[in-house]
């Protein structure tokens, strides 16, 4: 007989206490392999696919997409055992109760490890490659003879409440149509979700569905502009803009108690956006930085004409292209070698300044999920080519929402290129617990005195925001002046490294 094990939301590391369910990767009735990803969750740091340490049949799921669960809350239950298909059907029909999550299930040969992973789930998973999942045929699950269930005189145990609410049937087993399952994944990563009587809705990513959900927009009412009617983010945004100019919708009596989304807000009504996920984490960190760090900012204009010319010459010589951000990072690490006070942190309890041995360089990246700061490990040991490749890798991962918690933690200094937003200067908030941040504005042609004559040069504004506890203005000014000298005369960098 199958044994039902409960899988709880694991500790995802870095002090995270909750996560939001973005997308379920399995349905009730699916057969899952050990360490197969079963749900995609969003933490305050990254989008994470959570693998299940049990192999067997999913009998219940807990939590709707978009809901937030604390660490340790049940995610799903899995029926494991010798004869998984038959036993899962019997458990689903009888409403069997799950065993403790740490308990091992025996297989037909008595080998407990055959159905569970012995690994500890922290961060991204358990280390074993995920296998392709299989679905149970409609007849394999739920088609349990009446004689195999409890005696007729005894009422059947109640099905798990969350599973019943999620799937609309006892035991968490969804009703299956003869044509197949209620959801499937397309060839290009899209997921087709079948509504009760509306037909399929094609979406390409959880971000599109989350945008619609947060704004109370029914995707079934949209016509996608992508291939095969695929609903894109632009389609959702277009519908939201149309809703803003449409006459306000007055909710009917049954819906009056429901929280209004953006598309249903009456004219002049306020909108409340929850501070959670990445936005909440950013808010907490920035607030702490402002409370704890006595910051100051200094800035200087620099002629970046020679730096741009050096980059052009390097890229013209062949090989991998070098980014401007990588050259600025090289300048930063050289400056931190000369002024190590700025590559430090403050231990407030011990009242000590902690000088850090290596430079783990963070860089600000704006994404659909909000502002994130990926970290380039050991930036002081990397060449311009290596820095370029790592910046590209982390930027792509940030845009796709696949950064790991390790990619977003451990920074010692931040490089903030806000020039990409078309602005000249800024006084950013330090990325706690770091001690400083270098800001780089846009590079634009400006009148400049060059070699005693007025000329049009490519000028950039550089700013340094620093923790006044770790150094005084002389050190901060020396750091910023050295950075400006390297920007204006890249040969300075060659002489000092």
Active site residues: 468
**Cα-flanking dihedrals φ and ψ of residue 178, to 5°?**
-65, -20
**Cα-flanking dihedrals φ and ψ of residue 469, to 5°?**
-75, -30
- Supply 239's token pair: 């519908």
194 CB contacts (<8 Å, ≥6 apart)?
A: 182, 183, 200, 201
82 CB contacts (<8 Å, ≥6 apart)?
A: 2, 106, 107, 108
Find residue 3's DSSP bridge partners.
80
Separation CA 59–CA 88 (nearest Å): 7
Closest CA to 39 of 17, 10, 81, 13: 10
Q: What share of the chain is helix, strand, coil (3-state, %, to 5)?
A: 30, 25, 45
**Cα-flanking dihedrals φ and ψ of residue 126, to 5°?**
-110, 0
Would strands 370-372 and 365-367 be described as parallel, antiparallel, or unpaired?
antiparallel
Separation CA 25–CA 40 (nearest Å): 7
């Amino acid at each position: 007989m199958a044994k039902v094990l409960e899988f709880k939301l694991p500790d995802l590391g870095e002090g995270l206490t909750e996560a939001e369910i973005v997308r379920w990767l399995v349905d009730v009735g699916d057969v899952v392999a050990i360490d197969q990803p079963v749900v995609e969750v969003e933490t305050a740091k990254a989008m994470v696919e959570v693998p299940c340490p049990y192999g067997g049949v999913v009998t219940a799921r807990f939590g709707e997409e978009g809901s937030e669960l604390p660490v340790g809350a049940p995610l799903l239950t899995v029926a494991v055992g010798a004869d998984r298909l038959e036993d899962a059907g019997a458990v689903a029909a009888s409403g069997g109760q799950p065993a403790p999550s740490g308990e091992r299930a025996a297989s037909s040969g008595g080998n407990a490890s055959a159905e569970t992973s012995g690994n500890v789930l922290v961060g991204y998973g358990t280390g074993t490659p995920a296998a392709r999942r299989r679905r149970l045929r409609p007849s394999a699950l739920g088609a349990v003879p009446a004689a195999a269930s409890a005696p007729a005189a005894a009422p059947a145990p109640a099905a798990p409440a969350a599973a019943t609410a999620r799937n609309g049937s006892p035991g968490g087993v969804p009703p299956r149509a003869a044509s197949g399952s209620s959801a499937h994944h397309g060839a290009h990563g899209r997921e087709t979700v079948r509504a009760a009587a509306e037909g399929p809705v094609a979406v390409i990513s959880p971000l599109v569905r989350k945008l619609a959900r947060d704004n109370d927009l029914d995707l079934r009412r949209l016509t996608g502009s992508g291939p095969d009617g695929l609903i894109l983010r632009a389609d959702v945004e277009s519908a939201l803009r149309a809703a803003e100019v449409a006459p306000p919708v007055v909710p009917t009596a049954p819906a009056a108690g429901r929280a209004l989304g953006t598309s249903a807000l009456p004219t002049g009504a306020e909108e409340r956006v929850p501070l959670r996920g990445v936005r909440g984490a950013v808010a907490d960190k920035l607030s702490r930085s402002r409370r704890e760090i006595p910051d100051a900012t200094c800035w200087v204009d620099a002629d970046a004409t020679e730096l741009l010319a050096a980059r052009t010459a390097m890229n013209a010589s062949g090989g991998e292209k070098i980014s401007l951000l990588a050259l600025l990072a090289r300048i930063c690490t050289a400056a931190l070698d000369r002024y190590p006070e700025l590559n430090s942190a403050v231990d407030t309890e011990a009242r000590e300044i902690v000088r850090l041995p290596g430079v783990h360089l963070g860089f600000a990246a704006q994404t659909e999920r909000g502002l994130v700061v990926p970290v380039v490990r050991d930036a002081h040991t990397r060449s311009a080519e290596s820095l370029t490749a790592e910046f590209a890798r982390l930027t792509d991962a940030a845009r796709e929402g696949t950064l790991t918690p390790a990619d977003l933690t451990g920074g010692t200094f931040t490089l903030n290129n806000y020039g990409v937003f078309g602005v000249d200067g800024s006084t950013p908030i330090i990325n706690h617990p770091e001690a400083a941040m270098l800001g780089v504005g846009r590079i634009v042609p400006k009148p400049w005195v060059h070699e005693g004559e007025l000329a049009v040069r490519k000028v950039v504004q550089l700013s340094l925001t620093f923790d006044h506890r770790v150094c005084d203005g002389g050190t901060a000014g020396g750091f910023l002046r050295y950075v400006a000298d390297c920007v204006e005369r890249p040969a300075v960098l060659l002489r000092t490294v």
